[in-house]
Amino acid sequence: MTLKEAYKVLGASKHDDDREIKTKYKKLLIMYHPDSDPNRKRNPEDDEKIRQVIEAYRKIRESEGEPSFEPYEFSWDAFENKDAFSERDIYVQFKMYDEALPLSKMARGRFVWDPDMEEFRLFSKSVLEACKDILTDYQIALAPEKVKDIFHLMMQEYVLPADAARKIGNKVKEDEIRETFSFTGFIKETAAYNRKSKVRTGEPLNIFLRDDRAVIEEIVTGKILGSVSFDEDELYYVILPLLDDPSVEVHAVITKTETIRKRGNRMHVEIELTIPRNLKDTPAVNGSLIKALLK
C-alpha cells in the first residue's frame, strides 16, 4: 500500500493533523467492527476492510516517523471516570447512502464523552437512560425536576471541559504555553436593562458565571446585558465550568445585533477561552449530591 492509497483508505489528507487522522481511523474501525450493527449479517469483506484501515494508519504513522503499534483489538478508547456514579451505554449511528441506520451499542462503562467519537445527542441520551435506570433502581418516581437535577450532575461526571473545548472549539491562536479557542452564543436583553445607546460590535465585555449561567455585562457601566444561550447544548457543559477556572482567560465581544419580532433584541456574542496547554481536567465526582437527591 502506497502512502497516497493509505490516505485514501482513511478518507484523510496530508493537511489533516494527527488528531484528525486518528479520529478517522477510529471511526472506520468502529464502522467495520462486528458489534457495529448486531442486527445485520456479518459481511466477510468487513474483515478485509479492517485490515486495510489498520495498514493505512500504520503506513501514515511510519511516514511521520512514529513507531508502529500492537495488532488491532477493539475497545472503546476513551478515558474512564472510575468514580462516576453509574456506568452508561455508548451508542453510535452509521449512515448508508445518507440513510441513518439503527443505533448500535458499542460499549458500556464510566467513559467520559469524547467529541471526536461520540455525537453529543447520543451521549446525552445514554446519560438520560442511566439516570432513569438509577431512579427506577431506587424506586423513585420519574418526576421531571428530579430527573433533570440528577441528569445534570451525571453529565458533569462524563465531561472533561478543557479537553472537550480543545476538540470542539475554533482555535484562533496559540503559543508554546497556551491555546485560544472561540465559541459563539447569543444573549437577549434583560427587561431591567434599558440602554440608551446601542452596544457597538467588537466592544469588549465582561463575562462570568452566576447561578450556573454565563452572564455578560458592560465593562464601563457594569450593567448586565443578559445571560448567554448556546445553539449547541454541549457548550453549557464545556464553557460554564471553564468560566469558573482561574487559570483560563476569558474574553467576550458582541459580533452582531438583531431585532426579532415580538421577542426583542438579540445580540450575538463571541467568547474566547485561552487555556493553558498544561491544564488537566479533574473529573467531577457528584456521588454524594446524587445520593442526597435519591433519598
Express each pLDDT in 44-96 by its tens digit: 677 678 778 878 888 888 887 765 554 545 567 789 999 999 999 998 876 65
CA triple 153-78-35, angle to 5 deg: 105
Same domain, 152 and 173: no
Q: What is the mean pLDDT of residues 167-186?
A: 95
Q: Do β-strands 95-96 and 204-210 pair in parallel, antiparallel, or remain unpaired?
A: unpaired
Domain termination residue (choose one: 23, 48, 63): 63
Q: What is the mean pLDDT of residues 178-188?
A: 93
Looking at every residue in the chain, the average pLDDT score rounds to 85
Nearest to 11 by CA among 73, 47, 78, 57: 57
Q: Provide the grid cell at 120.
A: 453529543
Look up the CATH number of the domain holding residue 44: 1.10.287.110
49 inside domain: yes
Task: Give the residue with greater pLDDT, 106 vs 173.
Answer: 173
Express each pLDDT in 120-162 by its tens digit: 999 999 999 999 999 999 999 989 999 999 999 999 999 999 9
287 inside domain: no
Task: State the Cα–Cα distance between residues 244 and 247, nearest whole angstrom.
Answer: 9
Residue 282 has pLDDT above 70, yes or no: yes
Task: State the Cα–Cα distance between residues 29 and 73, nearest whole angstrom.
Answer: 10
Same domain, 271 and 168: yes
Same domain, 9 and 31: yes
Largest distance between two CA atoms of the chain:
70
* 3-state SS assignment for residue 265: strand
Task: Give the residue with greater pLDDT, 289 vs 72.
Answer: 289
Task: State the Cα–Cα distance between residues 153 and 197, nearest whole angstrom.
Answer: 41
Q: Indicate the length of the chain as a whole number.
A: 295
| Of the ranges 14-23, 29-38, 257-266, 280-289, the best mean pLDDT one | 280-289
Same domain, 254 and 205: yes
Same domain, 149 and 168: no
Q: What are phi and psi of 207, to 5 degrees?
A: -135, 135
Task: State the Cα–Cα distance between residues 293 and 295, nearest whole angstrom.
Answer: 6
- Total domains in the chain come to 3
- What pLDDT shows up at residue 60? 85
285 inside domain: no
| Of the ranges 98-112, 186-200, 237-251, 254-268, the best mean pLDDT one | 237-251
- What pLDDT shows up at residue 70? 47
* 3-state SS assignment for residue 28: helix
Same domain, 117 and 178: no
Which value, in Å, is the radius of gyration of the alpha carbons in the chain? 22
Alpha helix locations (H) across 181-233?
A: none
- Burial of residue 227 (number of CB atoms within 10 Å: 0-12, 13-18, 19+): middle
Nearest to 33 by CA among 65, 74, 70: 74
Same domain, 171 and 124: no
- 7-16, 120-129, 130-139, 188-197 — which is least confidently predicted? 188-197
Task: Give the residue with greater pLDDT, 27 vs 126.
Answer: 126
Say what percent of the chain tops pLDDT 70: 84
232 inside domain: yes
- What pLDDT shows up at residue 64? 77
Task: Give the residue with greater pLDDT, 105 vs 290.
Answer: 290
DSSP for residue 194: -
Look up the CATH number of the domain holding residue 270: 3.30.70
* Residue 287 banded pLDDT, cuts 50, 70, 90: very high
Contact 15, 70 (CB under 8 A): no
Q: In Å, how far from its chain's centre is CA 33?
A: 24
Domain that holds residue 15: 3-63
